[in-house]
Amino acid sequence: MKKCRYCKSEIDSKAKICPHCRKKQTNPILRGIMIFFGILLIVIGCSSLSNDLSSTNSDDNDNASCYLTMEKFNKIENGMSYSDVVDIIGCDGTLSTESSYEDSSMKIYYWYAKNGVANGTFSFMNDSLTAKSQIGLN
């Protein structure tokens, strides 16, 4: 014998429907499994949703299409600010060295070419380009 989940009257433990209140008796273990899978589905749904969001994240696309070319390299002139250079190349560079002395700050950034090997290095003194060099661009 077991108790009806709804009206609490004693019913046959194998009864699927309570003879007193006519409510369906759901197996608590089955219910637990169903809740577990329900939560699992929500978790999977959320993680796949966040994957979708990160795959549509524009950063990845920007980096794939952003690279240094000889043409861009030649457009970049001494005296330009870091943001000027970013505008020409199309994305942020990688900061390789940063140092400061008294009122001066020196930042050296590099960008890779499409092949991932050739690269250009740009040195900024107080956010003004003072030197540029490149390896392998053509």
Footprint on this chain of Zn ion (rule: CB under 5 A): 4, 6-7, 18, 20-21
Choose between 18 and 89: whose C-beta lies nearer to Zn ion.
18
Shortest approach of Zn ion to residue 44 CB, angstroms?
Answer: 36
Between CA 126 and CA 110 the distance in angstroms is 17
Task: State how far the alpha carbon of 4 is from the alpha carbons of 8, 18, 30, 34, 134, in Å.
Answer: 4, 6, 16, 20, 80
> Are the C-beta atoms of 73 and 137 separated by less than 8 Å?
yes
Can you tell me which residue has the tokens 């499994």?
A: 33
Choose between 11 and 85: whose C-beta lies nearer to Zn ion.
11
Shortest approach of Zn ion to residue 16 CB, angstroms?
Answer: 12
Shortest approach of Zn ion to residue 34 CB, angstroms?
Answer: 21
Shortest approach of Zn ion to residue 11 CB, angstroms?
Answer: 7
- The pairing of beta strand 10-11 with beta strand 2-3: antiparallel
**Two tokens, residue 99:** 């140092």
Choose between 17 and 33: whose C-beta lies nearer to Zn ion.
17
Choose between 16 and 114: whose C-beta lies nearer to Zn ion.
16
